[in-house]
Amino acid sequence: MNNIQSVGKAVSRLEGHLKVTGAAKYAGEYDAQDLLYGYIVGSTITKGRIKSIDSSEVKKMEGVVEVFTHENKPSTAWFDLQYADMDSPPGTVFKPLKDNNVKFNGQPIALVVAETFEMARLGAQKLKVIYEEEKFSTDLRENVDKARTAKKGFATMLKPPPPKPAGDFEKAYENSFIKTDLQFAHSTEHHNPMELCASTVIYEGKDKLTIYDKTQGTINSQLYVANVFGLKMKNVQVISPFVGGAFGAGLRPLHQLFMAVMASLTLKRNVRVTLDRSQMYIIGHRPPTLQHLKFGADSAGKINAIYHKALAETSRFEDYVENVVNWANMLYPAENTLLKHEIIPLDVYSPLDMRAPGGSTGMHAVEITMDEIAYQLNIDPLELRLINYSDIDKSSGREFSSKELRNCYLRGAEKFGWEKRNPVPRSIKKGNKLVGYGMATGIWEANRILGRAEAIMNLDGTAEIKSAVTDIGTGTLTVMTQIAADELGLPIENVTFSYADSKMPFAPIQGGSFTTATVGPAVQNACRALNKKLFKKAKDSNASWSNIRFNDVIFQNGFIMHKHDPEFKISTKEILASNAKSIKASSSAMPNPLTAGKKAKAAHSAVFVEVEVDEELGTIEVSRAVTAVAAGKIINPKTAESQILGGMIWGLSKALHEETILDHRYGKYMNANFAEYHIPVHADVNDLQVLFIDEEDQDVNSLGVKGVGEIGVVGMAPAIANAIFNATGKRIHDLPIRFEQLI
Ligand code: MOS
């Protein structure tokens, strides 16, 4: 055994000190010589044309260097490629300043570049624009007759369309003992990470740029800039070591990146463009979604018929989709299903993945429906889940690679004290508060894609690992260092993980909870390849080792040692000394195409919530919650717990706070600021507990990890809604839940 094993230990995040002391630099904080600042001007109309745009006065203002509009925009290579980045939905990518058409409110229509941010912003306020307005429509409910299925595209790989109908839903539903028929509505939500979207572009000479960008994927931004501006990939370097939250907001290259690069290349200067908080509401959002669910169950609670239809917003130019309706039958093995997902194009910017896209929307509706069935049959909601438990994903007919959900239910219930629940709504009071218990299931796919890494053993016996992957606050830096340390048999202090630089080996965008499963095995493979090289050097320089094979040795504490014979032991330093230079190895990891599709792969959770609702005021407090999670191997219990806690708080926020309100008369978001877009504060967050359930999985990847970035969000909102029903007897189907609905 390796006595310095680091995987499984609650290692504090390695960059934590840099972050809390302010030493960590974010994209908009890099200094550069004679830096110029760009401020984006947004359209004040929702749809139509720019008749004229007069920048002559602005250009005369002190400190203003240039004003870019569609009229003087430099010619760019553009991209007639359908997909400009790794996360583009099918359609036509929005191109800022392309022409005089306005397609959504707040659309970037100009960039004012000045010596300071304030001068640029003042210039932006003075720009004279005359529009010709056209009729527009932004109301989802008014356009349900325009719903259609989405075009398929690259994104379909990770977001498959709903499974085909199975059995005979209508007949099975008709013959069911219990029939539910419920409608749900979800509001628009915006990501709102603390760090604003920013790009600092350093002009390195002709057609060569170094870019500090807020992104979830350095190579994705590099690809976009190279494509759009016709630059060589090697001349575009994107660096993003610290990301102040993203949650999907950095999956696609954003307007400020385009603008900053355009200005830098044209002016041959260093340029920074940072969005302000209100502009963070034009980068994409979780789409408003309407859902209709009809479930049929027999008198014992067995669900036999599932109908789940979602209607979701998209823009007029891209078909954004999410997996909203694919989950119910993955969890509950009904024979008869009818699942549909349709989109409604409106005059808005394209929606964008937000933490647990689709899953948190769909499972909200599914798990409230389950609670309703339990209530009607007078079966405990937890018992109902166990009655409908399956080790097979019925929607695909595939067995789960692992599924410890049963233990999530049982151990979570025990930790929470679920047995104290009274099934009768309004039965528990505490002063003027109604107390309720609710639970829900969470599920999220365990995906992985292609990742690469390089491992280097230095002369002093320390190692450096490299990958272009970002760490968006999830703990990736720490977790990758742990994985490498164990593989190389080094203490964690002797391993450096260098990352978030597009010059490093390929990694996809950080997202979909697939980063540890994607880059982790690549790090492992690169370290193993390095070990093999070290072993070969050891053999080459030592005749007595000739009969020893790689499988006979272990790497521990900086030594290569025979597993059974302590005679054979050599330090890596010694090997390197004879080599006189560092040793490098690279490797990649990806799903095995022959076996990858054979099993269903998902992380699961069970969420238990207690709420207190003020009887007169309707105010809601989540007094405590427990989430039990089965997500394969947990590399770092501390960073993983933080991920689940963050997800739970997000779920609480979804249930009770977040909503971007669009005034359909103007086609404009009316609360695009932190004062009016509500998110939880400390006082809203009480006792939250996370329980990881052991789960072995040989199939997901060599590490056995499933990812923890999103599973924490999924079950929280429905568990809260179900607890509110238990407390008050009111079943609220829409999110967010408002206290006026409970008065
Ligand atoms: Mo996540 S919504 O894939 O950042």
Strand order in 559-562's β-sheet? 553-556, 559-562, 569-571
What residues flank ligand 1, with Cβ below 6 Å? 216, 246-248, 251, 353-355, 357, 511-512
At 337, is the pLDDT very low, low, confident or very high (cuts 50, 70, 90)? very high
The pLDDT value recorded for residue 83 is: 62
pLDDT of residue 158: 79
DSSP label of 71: T
- Are the beta carbons of 257 and 38 closer than 8 angstroms? no
Closest atom of ligand 1 to 353 CA is 2
Sort strands 559-562 and 289-297 into parallel, antiparallel or unpaired.
unpaired
DSSP 82: S
Mean of pLDDT over the chain: 96
Residue pair 209/237 in contact by the 8 Å Cβ criterion: yes
Mean pLDDT of 174-194: 97
Ligand 1 nearest atom to the CA of residue 512, by list position: 3
Q: Is the pLDDT of residue 598 over 70?
A: yes
The ligand 1 atom nearest the CA atom of 246: 4
Lookup: tokens for 334: 């009904």
CA of 322 to the centre of ligand 1 (A): 11
Do 32-135+194-246+250-282 and 145-189+285-447+598-742 come out as alike in CATH topology?
no
As a whole-number percent, the residues of the chain with pLDDT over 90 amount to 93
The two three-digit tokens of residue 251, written as one number: 């999956």
Atom of ligand 1 nearest to the CA of 354: 2
Q: What is the CATH number of domain 16-22+449-589?
A: 3.30.365.10
Q: Give the pair of three-digit tokens for residue 460.
A: 């002093």
CA-wise closest residue to 359 among 21, 4, 707, 113: 707
Average pLDDT over residues 183-206: 97
Q: Which of 317, 320, 279 is nearest to 43 (CA)?
A: 279
Contacts 24+ apart (CB under 8 A), 557-560: 557/3, 557/4, 557/489, 557/490, 557/491, 558/461, 558/489, 558/490, 558/494, 559/489, 560/531, 560/534, 560/535
Q: Is the peptide bond before 736 cis (omega within 30 degrees of 0)?
A: yes
Confidence of residue 3 (pLDDT cuts 50, 70, 90): low
For residue 85, what pLDDT is reported?
80
Residue ranges of alpha helices (H) inside 82-158 are 117-126
Best probe residue, ligand 1, of 195, 353, 449 (max atoms within 8 Å of C-beta): 353
Mapping DSSP to helix (H, G, I), strand (E, B) and coil, where does residue 184 land?
strand
pLDDT tens digits, one per residue of 73-113: 998 877 566 567 888 898 988 999 999 999 999 999 999 99
Cα–Cα distance for residue pair 547/539, rounded to 1 Å: 9
Class for domain 32-135+194-246+250-282, per CATH? alpha beta
Does residue 97 come out as left (phi exceeding 0), alpha (psi in the -120 to 50 range) or beta?
left
Distances (CA, A) of 118 to 40, 63, 115, 197: 12, 10, 9, 17
In sequence order, what are the residues at sequence separation of 6 or more whose Cβ sits closer than 8 angstroms to the Cβ of residue 88? 82, 153, 154, 155, 252, 318
pLDDT greater than 90 at residue 137? yes
Question: What pLDDT does 80 receive?
Answer: 60
Please provide the DSSP assignment of 323-338 as one string: -SSSSHHHHS--SEEE
Best CATH choice for the domain 145-189+285-447+598-742 from the list 3.90.330.10, 2.40.128.30, 2.40.110.10, 3.30.365.10: 3.30.365.10
* Residue 216 Cα to ligand 1 middle (Å): 9
CB 742 within 8 A of CB 194: no
**Class of residue 60 by CB neighbours under 10 A (exposed 0-12, middle 13-18, buried 19+):** exposed
pLDDT at 232: 95
Residue-wise pLDDT tens digits, 359-407:
999 999 999 999 999 999 999 999 999 999 999 999 999 999 999 999 9
User: 248 alpha carbon to ligand 1 midpoint, in Å?
Assistant: 4
> Which amino acid residue places its CA nearest to atom 4 of ligand 1?
248
Token pair recorded at residue 502: 């597009």
Per-residue model confidence (pLDDT) at position 81 = 60
Q: Are 523 and 465 in contact (CB under 8 A)?
A: yes
The tens digit of pLDDT for each residue in 653-699 reads 999 999 999 999 999 999 999 999 999 999 999 999 999 999 999 99
Averaged pLDDT, 338-345 = 98
pLDDT digits (tens, 9 = 90+) for 495-517: 999 999 999 999 999 999 999 99
Q: What is the pLDDT of residue 206?
A: 86
Output the CA 249–ligand 1 centroid distance in Å: 8
**pLDDT of the residue at 341:** 98
- pLDDT at 578 (0 to 100): 86
Distance 94 CA to ligand 1 centre (A): 20
Q: Name the band, by pLDDT with cuts 50, 70 and 90, for residue 152.
A: confident
How many angstroms separate the CA atoms of 354 and 347, rounded?
A: 20
Q: Give the mean model confidence (pLDDT) for residues 155-173.
A: 91
Domain boundaries, the chain: 16-22+449-589, 32-135+194-246+250-282, 145-189+285-447+598-742
- Residue 157 pLDDT level (bands cut at 50, 70, 90): confident
CB 473, CB 315: distance < 8 Å = no
Coil, strand or helix: which one is 102?
A: strand
Whether the per-residue pLDDT at 1 is higher than 60: the answer is no
Report the alpha-carbon distance of residue 407 to residue 695 in Å, rounded: 10
Asked whether residue 59 carries a pLDDT value surpassing 70, the answer given is yes
Which residue intervals of 447-598 are DSSP H helices? 476-488, 515-540, 572-579
**Do residues 111 and 53 make contact, with C-beta atoms less than 8 angstroms apart?**
no
Question: What pTM was computed for the model?
Answer: 0.97
- pLDDT tens for each residue of 622-656: 999 999 999 999 999 999 999 999 999 999 999 99
Other C-beta atoms lying within 10 Å of the C-beta of residue 131: 19
2 has pLDDT over 70? no
